[in-house]
Amino acid sequence: LNLQDSDLRKLSELGQGNGGSVVKVEHVPTGTIMAKKIVLIDAKQAVRKQILRELEILHSCRSAYIVSSYGAFMAEPNICICMEFMDKGSFDGIYKTIGPIDIEVVAKVALAVLEGLTYLYDVHRIIHRDIKPSNILCNSQGEIKLCDFGVSGELINSIANTFVGTSVYMSPERIQGAEYSIKSDVWSLGISLIELALGRFPFSESDPYDPEDDYSEEDDSSDPNPNPTNPDLGKTATHRDSLLPPSSGKTARRISKRRSKGVSLHGGGLTMSIIELMHHIVREPAPRLSSGKGPGAGAAFPTEAEEFVDACLLKDPEERKPPGGLLKFSWMDTARMSIFDIKEWASTF
């Protein structure tokens, strides 16, 4: 398919992100409906050609868990990437429309993401680098697929927005400057799964203002360094109806005090600045699936789901398993055998 912009008729806007925007288009000569991603890049001609060459890999990506690509072209000063249109949109849009996602669906999302990551890495040696609900798409066939993976290093370098790549789904080791590894994607998956199951971003707090908190203290040296793998830590957090672990020191208290002053990152009431949040991710125990539910607040999540998410969110990347290891968890067997009908589910919204 020889794509050119003049053959594409715009049908509607699908959304906007940090790096660009996505529109629904019709490829008039063939009548094909596509999603066209428009990325504003800041790069010289030679680099633009290089980006297009790197994007060629997209053509050879063939997996049931990866959004397929029709091709990419330059439309100065933008680069356009045309991909399979997923008519139910992304999982962030879905939970913002219908509320917390059924844990059986979340299990299928986890399975699809792991299969997609495994395919990208085993076949193309690609690390996704941007796993989050807005990059996990669904269609009315009940298929769940990944998009927006890091095929082109030059494209990542050229996107004309300094905040690209800085994400609240970033693993602790990435925040501390380590190279991207496939295990960083596993962390981002863990955060995304909690977000879908709770219907809100895991690091948002809902506890009320506490005038007893001492805001003026700046000394962090008394912080205990709690073991993030201690299974009891999350339970004490339930009284806050929050995934923020219990304040183990002044850092956490400062974060909670500054909520009202911070930058709003997510519409859903999260007002930590990005720096504060990253500090929190590095220092504090990882969020847990269970800690979002207070005593008696509805049915608990299945133990195998909690074990899986805990394994994704091991803070030490040495301990955290790669996608292939997580595919062996019992929750993934449950997801494979589940008769839950995603197609039927997707027809309800």
Q: Tell me whether residue 130 is one of the annotated catalytic residues.
A: yes
Residue 49 annotated as binding?
no
Q: Identify what 165 binds: Mg ion, ligand ATP, none; CB under 5 to 8 Å per kind.
A: none
Strands in the chain per DSSP E: 8-16, 20-27, 32-40, 69-75, 78-84, 136-138, 144-146
18 binds ligand ATP (CB under 6 A): yes
167 binds Mg ion (CB under 5 A): no
> What residues numbered 55-74 form the site for ligand ATP, per CB under 6 A?
67
| Total residues at interface with ligand ATP (CB under 6 A) | 24
Q: Identify what 187 binds: ligand ATP, Mg ion, none; CB under 5 to 8 Å per kind.
A: none
135 binds Mg ion (CB under 5 A): yes
Query: Residue 35 — φ and ψ, nearest 5°?
Result: -105, 120
Q: Which of 22, 94, 111, 196 binds ligand ATP (CB under 6 A)?
A: 22
Say how far residue 11 (Cα) sits from the centre of its chain.
27
Three-class SS of residue 22? strand
Give the residue with the Cβ less far from ligand ATP, 19 or 246: 19
Q: Which of 69, 118, 135, 188 binds ligand ATP (CB under 6 A)?
A: 135
What is the Cα–Cα distance from 32 to 26, expressed in whole angstroms? 6
19 binds ligand ATP (CB under 6 A): yes
Active-site residue identified among 7, 122, 130, 341: 130
Question: Exposed e or buried b for every residue in 220-256, given b needs 16+ CB within 10 A?
Answer: eeeeeebebeeeebbeebbebebbbbbbbbbbbbbbb
What is the Cα–Cα distance from 148 to 131, expressed in whole angstroms? 9
143 binds Mg ion (CB under 5 A): no
What is the Cα–Cα distance from 208 to 283, expressed in whole angstroms? 23
Q: Which of 93, 100, 199, 262 binds ligand ATP (CB under 6 A)?
A: 93
Alpha-carbon dihedral sign for residues 197, 18, 268, 288: positive
Contact of 308 with 259, CB cutoff 8 Å: no
Interface positions with ligand ATP (CB under 6 A) = 14-22, 35, 67, 83-86, 89-90, 93, 130, 134-135, 137, 147-148
Kindly list the residues in this chain that would bind Mg ion in the complex (CB under 5 A): 134-135, 148
Q: Which residues are annotated as a binding site for ATP?
A: 37
